[in-house]
Each structure stands twice: as C-alpha cells, then as structure tokens.
Amino acid sequence: MKLNEILLKDDVTLSFEVFPPKVTANYEAVKEAAYGVAKLKPSYMSVTYGAGGSTRGNTLKIAKGIQDTYGVTTIAHLTCVGATKEGIRQAVMDMKEAGIENVLALRGDRPKDFEGEPFTDYHYASELAADIREFGGMCIGGACYPEGHVESENTHQDILNLKKKVDAGCEFLTTQMFFDNNIFYNFLCRVREAGIDVPVIPGIMPITRPAQLQNAVKLSGCNVPMRFRSIVDCFSDNPEAMQQAGIIYATDQIIDLIANGVKHVHVYSMNKPEVVKGIQESLSKII
Ligand SMILES: Cc1cc2nc3c(=O)[nH]c(=O)nc-3n(C[C@H](O)[C@H](O)[C@H](O)COP(=O)(O)OP(=O)(O)OC[C@H]3O[C@@H](n4cnc5c(N)ncnc54)[C@H](O)[C@@H]3O)c2cc1C
C-alpha cells in the first residue's frame, strides 16, 4: 500500500524503523529482529540503506520479507551518494519488482572508505526524488531536520532547500530525532509558513544505552534537554533501568505529540522488538 493512502486515513499511526545487516553473516539475526518488530503489527515500517549502498540487497530483502510475511507496508530507504543515474533506475526497478511502493529518497553521506568525488550524478536528495517521480509508481518521502541539517548554513536556508525537495516529488517528510517536542512544534510552524504542506512525521528515538545518545548527538548535533540528560546520567550504570527509562521518555514524547494533534509518529526502534513492545504496551489505550 502507498504511504500517502495510509497517512490520509483518520487513524493515528505508529511506525518503526529497522536497519539491515552490513555483512551477510549477520543476516539471520537481523532478519529475526526485524520480523520481531513486524509481528507486533505496526502501522508500517521503514528499512534503512547502508552508507553508499552497502546494504542495498539486504534492504530490499528485509523490506520484501516484512511485507510478504506479515502484511506490514514498508518504505525502503535509498541514497544517491556515489550512485549513478543508471544504478538508481535499476534500484527503483528492483523495488517495484519486489512489491515495494514507498521509498525514502535520501542524499546520504560520503562513506568512510569512498575514494574520489561522491556527488557526480546527484548532489542533493531533491534530484533523486525528481528522478524517482519521473519513473512513476512510487510514493516518495524525504528526510528533514527540526534543528537544521549539520551542513546547512542556517535553519531558514535548510527549510528553503526542503521546499525544493517537496516540489521535486516528496509526498511526506520524516524528521531526524529530537528530544524536546517544542523544537518539533516550532519547526512545523516554520515549515508550514514556507508553504510546505505535506505530512511531517516526527521521528522519535528511544535511548536505551548512554552510548546511543552520544552517537546521536555526534552525528546530528541534536539538543539534549537537562531533564533527559539527568535521566541518562542517573541510569547509565544500570542497563535494565536505562532501557526502561528510555522507553518511558520516548513514550512521554509520543503522548505529548498526539495530545498536540500530531497523527503520525515514527520510532527509530533500532532492531529491538522489546523496545517496540514496551512502547506499544504503554500506549495500548491511546492508539
Ligand atoms: C528520517 C531519516 C532517515 C535517514 N535514513 C538514512 C539511510 O537509510 N541511509 C543513510 O545513509 N542515511 C540516512 N539518513 C541520513 C541522511 O542521509 C543524512 O542526514 C544526509 O547528510 C542528508 O541527506 P538528505 O537526504 O537529508 O539530503 P539533502 O536533502 O540533499 O540535504 C543535504 C544538505 O544539502 C542542503 N541542500 C539541499 N538541497 C540543496 C540545494 N538545492 N542547494 C544547496 N543546498 C542544498 C540541505 O540544506 C542540507 O544541508 C537519514 C536521515 C533521516 C532524517
């Protein structure tokens, strides 16, 4: 099913992201984790794409497996860094053949071991979205950054660039993680002011290990409110307590979003069915 049809319905949706294995040796373990999430019947799931296409085949295999085995709609991520136009055409054809109807069109980042110029056929995700739109038959989404993308000059310019991406064909946007909902509400106002009217789906990351938070901050530069920092500091030596606190903090963010009229929430579940279950159970009377 196309995501824009799911997002048009009146129901609140809760969706989850999984990532495929980088090496084939881990395939079965990752598949089991991803299927463990799918068994919990989320509204839909997204499957990430490894840097520079390193997980290409596995992204598709996992996404197809989730759809075929559990009937859960999936979005396959696709990046254009280091890609050729022909490679992208083939990747989209493979998605269609696998029955995948939704794609998150991303630029991606220069892979660590990439030699040469990684942005030749494509420079920005908007160019990728435009090509996929031209091929036809896919519902296309894009990424957005409530605190600004790390490379952007300022958040205003970033939103102007985001508008180009939507004009190029993105029918929904999923945000990078944030830990303070006011940042999302403020972003949403500015996005609407800029004339972007597609659904903007907040991405929530349950932090279950202190190292996960350090990585998130390093990669995205996202703000960590004092309230959350104290929680992580307090429970960092107790993995079970940290996991529980992380699930509760993420659930609290989701409840606040729903209470403020947000209908669709995406969770970065990091291949952890137990985290998905914890969140779903805490929301069982709400969603
Ligand atoms: C929801 C989500 C899912 C993700 N999934 C993956 C994944 O599966 N695999 C992966 O490798 N990475 C993933 N990423 C990370 C993403 O690839 C990086 O954040 C990357 O740095 C930017 O990708 P983008 O698609 O947002 O790029 P773009 O939209 O191209 O933006 C990149 C930068 O270029 C600027 N820009 C855009 N258009 C223009 C223009 N016309 N002129 C000048 N500047 C411009 C933007 O302001 C921004 O600073 C994901 C990120 C998010 C938020």
pLDDT in tens, 163-197: 999 999 999 999 999 999 999 999 999 999 999 99
Contact status, residue 25 vs residue 56, Cβ threshold 8 Å:
no
Would you say how long the chain is, in residues? 287
248-265: average pLDDT: 98
Cβ neighbours of residue 84 closer than 8 Å, sequence gap 6 or more: 120, 121
Q: Is the CB of 49 under 6 A from ligand 1?
A: yes
In a domain, 96, yes or no: yes
Q: Which ligand 1 atom sits nearest the alpha carbon of residue 149?
A: 49
Amino acid at 208: T
In a domain, 228, yes or no: yes
Q: Give the C-alpha separation, 287 to 280, whole Å.
A: 8
Q: Is the CB of 176 under 6 A from ligand 1?
A: yes
- Asked if residue 238 has pLDDT above 90, the reply is yes
Cβ neighbours of residue 94 closer than 8 Å, sequence gap 6 or more: 60
pLDDT computed for residue 10 by the predictor:
86
Q: Give the C-alpha separation, 215 to 240, whole Å.
A: 20
CA–centroid distance, residue 125 to ligand 1 (Å): 6
Counting the structural domains of the chain, the total is: 1
Cβ neighbours of residue 180 closer than 8 Å, sequence gap 6 or more: 223, 225
- Asked if residue 54 has pLDDT above 90, the reply is no
Task: State which of 95, 102, 161 you would mutate to test the pocket of ligand 1, scoring each by most atoms of that ligand within 8 A of its C-beta.
Answer: 161
pLDDT computed for residue 201 by the predictor:
98
Burial class of 63 by CB neighbour count within 10 A (0 to 12, 13 to 18, 19+): buried
In a domain, 202, yes or no: yes
Cβ neighbours of residue 102 closer than 8 Å, sequence gap 6 or more: 2, 3, 44, 73, 74, 75, 76, 138, 139, 140, 141
Q: Is the CB of 37 under 6 A from ligand 1?
A: no
What distances in angstroms separate CA 248 from CA 24, 185, 205, 280, one per listed residue? 34, 21, 11, 11
Which of 3, 78, 76 minimizes the C-alpha distance to 34? Answer: 76
In this structure, what CATH number is given to the domain that contains residue 223?
Answer: 3.20.20.220
Collapsing DSSP states into helix, strand and coil, what is residue 213? Answer: helix
In a domain, 287, yes or no: no
Minimal-distance CA residue to ligand 1 atom 14 = 108
pLDDT computed for residue 53 by the predictor:
78
Q: Which ligand 1 atom sits nearest the alpha carbon of residue 125?
A: 30
Which of 83, 168, 78, 93 minimizes the C-alpha distance to 130? Answer: 168
pLDDT computed for residue 263 by the predictor:
97
Higher pLDDT, 179 or 55: 179
Q: Is the CB of 143 under 6 A from ligand 1?
A: yes
In a domain, 156, yes or no: yes
In a domain, 135, yes or no: yes
CA–centroid distance, residue 124 to ligand 1 (Å): 7
In a domain, 167, yes or no: yes
CA–centroid distance, residue 80 to ligand 1 (Å): 10
pLDDT computed for residue 113 by the predictor:
84
Q: What's phi and psi for 140, nearest 5 deg?
A: -110, 135
CA–centroid distance, residue 121 to ligand 1 (Å): 16
Q: How confident is the model at residue 112 (pLDDT cuts 50, 70, 90)?
A: confident
- The boundaries of the domain holding residue 40 are 3-282
Q: How confident is the model at residue 24 (pLDDT cuts 50, 70, 90)?
A: confident
Residues annotated as part of the active site:
17
Average model confidence (pLDDT) across the chain: 96
CA–centroid distance, residue 233 to ligand 1 (Å): 31
Minimal-distance CA residue to ligand 1 atom 4 = 143
> Which residues on neighbouring strands pair with residue 4, listed in sequence order?
none
pLDDT in tens, 186-230: 999 999 999 999 999 999 999 999 999 999 999 999 999 999 999
